[in-house]
Amino acid sequence: MADTKIVTGGPECVDQVLDFFRVDERLPHILCPGCGIGTAMNAVVRAFIEMGLNRDELCVVSGIGCSSRISGYLDCDTFHTLHGRALPAATGVKLARPNMKVVVFGGDGDMLAIGGNHYIHSARRNVDVTVFVLNNFTYGMTGGQYSPTTPTHEKAPTAPFGNVERDFDPCFVARATGAMFVARSTTFHVAHLQKMARLALSKCGFSVVEVISQCPTLYGRHQGLGDATKMLQWIKERSVDASKVANPWEVTDKFVIGVLHDREEVPPMSQLYADVRRSAQGRAGE
């Protein structure tokens, strides 16, 4: 992680970051004290700045949920869509305006439960978007119900006797369904997260960064994990760098962080469709 270029520190950089937010209109945000979503948003914005993305060609798309509120705070074209539907909407934007950089934020419920089918098919299609899955293991906005990433046996308001379902790994699903790039980071490892964001955003095609995040208000309270500080401690202790494990896909009791999958790029859907258009138009002229 030593090579991570950190943009924090100088007042200039803070100004740049602040400038990226709709400061006057939208802040303060609606997130709970100690929530990890602001940290994740901040790290991704720093990656945007680091990469020098043109904000007038950037579209941030989200669904519904705590994480999906991110779109409303960023000063670029932003698209707060329906619950679970960020990816189809992002697909429409990307295909209609292929020159735009399209970035998607979603939570574990939004992206993996109600939006699970779209997640799979967007990866398969190789839509040229970067997805940040903010995984806090719970439906925060509706009060802490269990989600597709809540571990078996854990209690939640809709699983008062313990969750009988199995959780799944968004990174594994993304890799299995065709993503070009898959990484995991956490809200504790902010510099690392910024680096993973930059790598994902630089990749052509469908890329995913899972961000393990803390929800002290609901998940932390229900699981007895304590406040935000204690939860960050918990995240830190459970995290292990991908380089330190033999097979990251076999580790179940840790958060394996780092680049988990980085395959040779194949042309994304928008590019293949541009070829289709060219050949169809050529044929029409014959």
Partner 1 sequence: MTRLLSGNEACAIGAIRGGVRFFAGYPITPSTEIAEYLARELPRAGGTFVQMEDEIASICCMNGATAAGVKAMTATSGPGFSLMQEGIGYSIMAELPCVVVNVMRGGPATGTPTRTSQGDVLQARHGTHGDHPIVAVCPWSVRECFDLTIEAVNFSERLRIPVIVLMDEIVGHMREAVDLPEQVSIWTPSRPKVPPTEYYHYDDANNYDARIASFGEGYRIHLTGLTHRKDGFPTDEPEIIKWNMDRLRRKIDDNRSWLWDLDYEDLGAETVLVCYGSAARSAMEAKRQYEEQTGRRVGILRLRMIWPFPMERMIALLRSARRVVVPEMNQGQLRRTVERCVSRDVPVVSVQRYDGEMLTPEEVIEVL
Q: Rule CB under 8 A: which residues touch partner 1?
A: 25-26, 55-57, 59, 61, 64, 71-72, 75-82, 85, 87-97, 99-100, 117-118, 120-121, 273, 276-277, 280-281, 283-284
Q: Measured from the CB atom, is 97 or 236 closer to partner 1?
A: 97
Q: Measured from the CB atom, is 166 or 283 closer to partner 1?
A: 283
Q: Measured from the CB atom, is 96 or 164 closer to partner 1?
A: 96
Shortest reach from residue 43's CB to partner 1, in Å: 21
Shortest reach from residue 91's CB to partner 1, in Å: 5
Shortest reach from residue 172's CB to partner 1, in Å: 20
Shortest reach from residue 68's CB to partner 1, in Å: 10
Shortest reach from residue 4's CB to partner 1, in Å: 29
Q: Measured from the CB atom, is 46 or 85 closer to partner 1?
A: 85
Q: Measured from the CB atom, is 94 or 222 closer to partner 1?
A: 94
DSSP codes joined into one string, the chain? -TT-----SSHHHHHHHHHHB-HHHH-S-SPPTT-SHHHHHHHHHHHHHHHT--GGGEEEEE-SSTGGGHHHHBSSEEEE-STT-HHHHHHHHHHH-TTSEEEEEEEHIIIIIITHHHHHHHHHHT-SEEEEEEE-SEETTTTSEE-TTSPTT--BTTBTT---SPP--HHHHHHHTT-SEEEEEESS-HHHHHHHHHHHHHSSS-EEEEEE---IIIIIHHTT--SHHHHHHHHHHHEEEGGGSS-GGG--SSEEEEEEEEPPP---HHHHHHHHHHHHHHHHH-
Q: Measured from the CB atom, is 73 or 132 closer to partner 1?
A: 73
Shortest reach from residue 284's CB to partner 1, in Å: 4
